[in-house]
């Protein structure tokens, strides 16, 4: 029991665990939403989160021009400017992730034998690029060659799509895994810092706001927990109250019937991806606020954890994603205190296995499609 | 095994005979400095760099590569008849990626010596392959003590191992009068090995705080444990990227303890990752300060327009040993390996002379600190 460390530091661990758990929850929403409507796991969602962290990074460093250090100290902003800056960074991260998710859906998921032009163009460009890479070792030349080749290859793909049958579901799973690797490696190869770690500037002074049962509550931890909760409330309201949200629920319940009743299913799927992406963008902004870093594979471990959180809470269930994320964050922190840091992943997965043994559909069960959201 | 070695040897012989008669006559070349060779002739020989050029500790490999580049450039300039090439194997510091690259290096008969592998984990994974192939290596940076005890005949290192660095760190921490020191590692061959040595050396003063995941981002559980234990010093065995994240989160969490690190952290990447939290950290290293040799410093600055960073000078010494062998007419793997056994020369960092295990004679440990966002040497060399 490591000297009753857990007992003495319980509330400290609870607060930091909840902060990390909130980020898991937000990312888990993306897995759960897509699973709800498509019955598929979007394994590239972790890279959507990564794209969001780079959106936050670009917003603060490029668009707002915040330096890493000012006069040897952190470039703190205060008052109204701080709020404006934070909101702008949040917006950028959400736009990056949202657009990333939409593009991903178009390329990796949309090729359903009915010939989607956008997906075909992107695929054709990538094909041209890869072919060109075999012959020339110059990125600009590759881009030019790919651009020239795009039109003929697109036509070829379109005719293939038209002839092709509906792809088996497993194909999307594989194409998502492929997209995940491709996005991360593209960042590692063409990103300015390659495989190195990136730092985001700290504009929020991380003061201790108050002490809760002996534990320091820092302002960044509080913002993460409250921010994540607000975003989740907004998402739940959107899904439950709005017209598009009703469409999402209808498709989740029964896609074919929804289609017959006049719901634009393709549109709804796109909206679902976009919603998941926006949530991942929010998570990414909060993540860079607390941890101030990113890298090409930042999404990998976090994605696996968030997927675990979604399954733990009951995949397809929005409240389950929240609950699963928070529980996972807490369990990891407590396990670190009891067994040491190297055991936290083991304990997290043991908890998942035990829960699935007794509740195969997760803690809250699946419900996005069952109109019990 | 034996058969393949014979095959490789004969392949080498054929290759060498193709190189031409010219090579034969130069056994008399001086073994002073590489640059003084002058009339050396050779053809198609390469020295390889093996280690991380990209990835989480890529800066360290970049430094090493520059040291090799400088040594080879100087040699080639002084020896128009012998242009030595450089092959770079970027392992990303990953023991899982290293073996395939090692096979490539072994298969390339023109590679006669390797500067590297840079890190201890990858060294453990591939040095056996190099040993089997009889391909001599001089690592400018892998410090895990076990590496010298594997019976590898090809193994040499250009700096003291962690069996010297560990006690040096302990000596420094003890001299600073720390009463309670948390010991953390990154679970790598190097980090865990060194942390274990430091922990054992500190005895009752050490508080074990387990490992962290260098690829992870949240170290709050360790911060909480450090706060709870009330440590006045913390040692972390690992590389600079993780060290930066850890230092920042410790400071944010209100831990005021003096931070101690070792050679894997001695890089500007640590300062970039930790920001102001890096200030005042003490970093020990068996690597010589950049200004320990004025000629090397000037030559390096002239070529790269920057100061040499961690391991660049060690890499220069390592590459120079191979180049001296080539200058002495030893132009295949076996004779270069033989040459290194009796090598004894003042390098830019220390006297380069290896014992039978491949450990270098000089074993000074240096202390560095971070002041105003820059690495500065701290007086107080620990011998």
CB contact under 8 Å between A206 and B228, yes or no, is no
Phi, psi of B113 (to 5 degrees): -160, 150
CA distance B205 to B183: 10
Chain A within 8 Å of B194 (Cβ-Cβ)?
no
**β-strand partners of A199:** A293
Q: What is residue B208's predicted lDDT score, i.e. its pLDDT?
A: 84
What pLDDT score was predicted for residue A164?
A: 65
pLDDT given at position A139: 80
Q: In Å, how far is A351's CA from the nearest CA of chain B?
A: 18
Instruction: Tell which residue, A137, A180, A136, has the closest CA to residue A46.
Output: A180
- B377 pLDDT above the threshold of 70: yes
pLDDT-wise least confident of A9-18, A124-133, B23-32, B252-261: B23-32
Contact in structure between A278 and A239 (CB atoms under 8 Å): no
Contact of A198 with A293, CB cutoff 8 Å: yes
B window 35-54, beta carbon within 8 A of A? 54
Does B194 score more than 90 pLDDT? yes
Chain A residues with CB under 8 Å of B276 CB are 69, 72-74
Return all residues near A113 (Cβ < 8 A) that are at least 6 apart.
A161, A162, A164, A165, A166, A167
Is residue B135 within a helix (H) or strand (E), and if so which, with residue range?
none
> Rounded CA gap, B145 and B349, in Å?
20
Q: Which residues of B165-200 are buried (b: 16+ CB within 10 A; e: fewer)?
A: bbbbbbbbbeeeebebbbbbbbbbbbbbbbbbbbbe
Contact in structure between B279 and B245 (CB atoms under 8 Å): no
Q: Which residues partner with B88 through β-bridges?
A: B49
Q: Note the pTM of the prediction, 2 decimals.
A: 0.86
| Residue of A185, A188, A195 to mutate, interface with B, max B Cβ within 10 Å | A195
pLDDT band at B18 (very low <50, low <70, confident <90, very high): very low
Extract the tokens encoding A241: 């109250």
pLDDT in tens, B112-131: 999 999 999 999 999 999 99
Q: What is the ipTM of this complex?
A: 0.86
Within chain B, residue ranges assigned H as helices are: 2-19, 58-78, 98-107, 120-133, 162-175, 189-202, 220-229, 240-252, 268-274, 294-304, 312-327, 333-341
pLDDT in the model for residue B29: 39
CA distance B228 to chain A (A): 7
Distance from the Cα of B284 to chain A's closest Cα (Å) equals: 23
Tell if the CB–CB gap between A341 and B221 is shorter than 8 Å: yes
State residue B96's pLDDT score: 94
Whether residue B138 contacts residue B316, with contact meaning beta carbons closer than 8 Å, is answered with: no
pLDDT of res. B380: 56
A68 touches B: beta carbon within 8 Å: yes
Cα distance between residue A159 and residue A181, in whole Å: 27
* pLDDT higher than 60, residue B3: no
Question: Cα–Cα distance between B331 and B336 in angstroms, integer?
Answer: 7
**Residues 66..105 of B with a Cβ closer than 8 Å to A: which?**
92
The CB density around residue A197, as the number of other CB atoms within 10 Å, is 22
Q: Which of B210, B228, B372 sits opposite A8 (nearest CB)?
A: B228
Please list every residue in chain B whose beta carbon sits closer than 8 Å to the beta carbon of residue A218: 252
- Smallest CA–CA distance from B273 into chain A, residue: A199
Cα–Cα distance measured from residue A16 to residue A367, given in angstroms and rounded to the nearest whole number: 29
- The pLDDT of residue A372 is 43
CB contact B278 to A (< 8 Å): no
Percent of chain A with pLDDT over 90: 54
Model pLDDT, residue A50 = 97
CA distance B193 to chain A (A): 16
List the single best residue of A53, A196, A297 to mutate versus B (max B Cβ within 10 A).
A196
Taking CA–CA distances from B92, the nearest residue in chain A reads A195
Instruction: State pLDDT tens for residues B309-367.
Output: 999 999 999 999 999 999 999 999 999 999 999 999 999 999 999 999 999 987 789 99
Mean pLDDT of B244-269: 94
Tens of pLDDT along chain A (373 residues) come to: 456 778 888 999 999 999 999 999 999 999 999 998 888 899 999 999 999 999 999 999 999 999 988 887 889 998 899 999 999 999 999 999 999 999 998 887 765 545 577 778 888 888 888 888 888 878 888 888 888 888 888 888 888 777 766 667 777 888 889 889 999 999 998 888 888 889 999 999 998 888 888 888 999 999 999 999 999 999 999 999 999 999 999 999 888 899 999 999 989 999 999 999 999 999 999 999 999 999 999 999 899 999 999 999 999 899 999 999 999 999 999 998 888 888 888 888 899 899 889 888 888 887 655 544 4
Residues B339 and B322: their CA atoms lie apart, in Å, by 9
Note the pLDDT tens digit of each residue in B37-79: 467 888 889 999 999 998 888 899 999 999 999 999 999 999 9
Q: What is the DSSP track for B214-240?
A: TT----HHHHHHHHHHT-SEEEEES-H
Rounded to a whole number of angstroms, the distance from the CA of B105 to the nearest CA of chain A is: 22
Query: CA–CA separation, A313 vs A321, rounded Å?
Result: 5
Provide the pLDDT confidence category of residue B168 given band limits of 50, 70 and 90. Answer: very high
* A336 neighbourhood in chain B, CB within 8 Å: 221-222, 225
Least confident of A21-30, A279-288, B24-33, B273-282: B24-33
Which chain A residues touch B254 with a CB distance below 8 Å? 208, 216
Are B59 and A194 within 8 A, CB to CB? no
């Amino acid at each position: 029991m490591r000297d009753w460390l857990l007992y003495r530091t319980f509330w400290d661990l609870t607060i930091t665990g909840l902060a990390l758990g909130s980020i898991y929850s937000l990312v888990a929403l993306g897995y759960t939403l897509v699973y709800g409507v498509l019955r598929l796991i979007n394994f590239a969602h972790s890279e959507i989160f990564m794209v969001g962290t780079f959106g936050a990074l670009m917003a603060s460093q490029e668009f707002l021009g915040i330096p890493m250090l000012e006069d040897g100290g952190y470039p703190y902003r205060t008052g109204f400017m701080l709020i404006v800056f934070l909101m702008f960074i949040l917006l950028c991260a959400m736009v990056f992730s949202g657009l990333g998710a939409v593009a991903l859906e178009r390329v990796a998921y949309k090729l359903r034998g009915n010939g989607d032009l956008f997906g075909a163009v992107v695929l054709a460009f990538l094909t041209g690029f890869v072919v060109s890479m075999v012959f020339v070792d110059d990125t600009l030349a590759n881009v030019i060659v790919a651009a020239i080749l795009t039109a003929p290859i697109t036509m070829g793909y379109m005719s293939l799509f038209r002839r092709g049958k509906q792809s088996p579901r497993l194909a999307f799973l594989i194409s998502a895994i492929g997209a995940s690797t491709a996005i991360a490696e593209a960042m590692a190869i063409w990103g300015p810092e390659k495989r190195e770690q990136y730092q985001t500037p700290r504009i929020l002074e991380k003061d201790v706001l108050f002490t809760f049962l002996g534990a320091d509550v820092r302002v960044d931890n509080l913002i993460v927990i409250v921010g994540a909760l607000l975003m989740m409330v907004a998402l739940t309201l959107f899904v439950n109250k709005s017209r598009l949200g009703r469409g999402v629920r209808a498709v989740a319940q029964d896609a074919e019937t929804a289609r017959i009743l006049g719901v634009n299913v393709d549109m709804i799927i796109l909206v679902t991806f976009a919603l998941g992406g926006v949530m991942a963008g929010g998570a990414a902004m909060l993540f860079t606020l607390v941890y101030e870093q990113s890298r090409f594979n930042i999404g990998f471990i976090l994605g696996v954890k968030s997927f675990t959180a979604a399954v733990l809470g009951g995949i397809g269930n929005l409240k389950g994603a929240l609950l699963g994320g928070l529980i996972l964050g807490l369990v990891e922190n407590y396990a670190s205190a009891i067994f040491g840091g190297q055991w936290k992943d083991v304990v997290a997965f043991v908890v998942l296995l035990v829960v699935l043994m007794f509740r195969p559909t997760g803690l809250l069960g699946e419900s996005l499609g069952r109109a019990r959201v | 095994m034996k058969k393949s070695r014979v095959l490789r040897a004969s392949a080498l012989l054929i290759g060498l005979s193709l190189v031409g008669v010219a090579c034969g006559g130069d056994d008399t070349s001086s073994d002073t400095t590489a640059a003084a060779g002058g009339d050396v002739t050779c053809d198609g020989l390469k020295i390889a760099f093996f280690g991380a050029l990209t990835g989480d500790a890529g800066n360290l490999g970049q430094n090493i590569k520059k040291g090799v580049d400088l040594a080879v450039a100087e040699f080639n300039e002084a020896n128009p008849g012998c242009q030595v090439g450089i092959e770079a194997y970027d392992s990303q510091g990953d023991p899982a990626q290293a073996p395939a690259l090692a096979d490539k290096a072994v298969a390339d008969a023109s590679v006669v010596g390797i500067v590297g592998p840079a890190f201890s984990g990858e060294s453990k994974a591939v040095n056996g392959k190099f040993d089997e192939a009889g391909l001599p290596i001089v690592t400018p940076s892998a410090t895990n003590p076990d590496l010298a005890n594997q019976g590898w005949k090809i193994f040499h290192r250009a700096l003291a191992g962690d069996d010297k660095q560990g006690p040096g760190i302990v000596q420094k921490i003890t001299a600073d009068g720390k009463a309670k020191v948390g010991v953390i590692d990154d679970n790598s061959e190097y980090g865990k090995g060194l942390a274990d040595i430091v922990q054992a050396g500190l005895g009752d003063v050490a508080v074990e705080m387990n490992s962290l995941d260098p690829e992870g981002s949240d170290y709050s559980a360790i911060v909480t444990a450090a706060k709870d234990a009330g440590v006045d010093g913390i040692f972390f065995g690992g590389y600079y990227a993780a060290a930066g994240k850890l230092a920042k989160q410790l400071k944010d969490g209100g831990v005021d303890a003096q931070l101690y690190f070792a050679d894997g952290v001695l890089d500007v990447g640590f300062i970039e990752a930790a920001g102001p939290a890096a200030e005042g950290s003490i970093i020990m290293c068996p690597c010589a300060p950049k200004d320990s040799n004025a000629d090397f410093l000037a030559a390096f600055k002239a070529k790269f327009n920057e100061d040499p960073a961690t391991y660049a000078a060690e890499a220069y010494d390592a590459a120079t040993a191979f180049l001296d062998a080539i200058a002495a007419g030893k132009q295949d793997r076996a004779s270069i390996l033989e040459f290194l056994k009796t090598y004894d020369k003042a390098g830019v960092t220390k006297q380069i002379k290896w014992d039978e295990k491949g450990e270098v004679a000089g074993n000074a440990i240096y202390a560095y600190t971070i002041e105003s966002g820059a690495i500065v040497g701290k007086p107080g060399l620990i011998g």
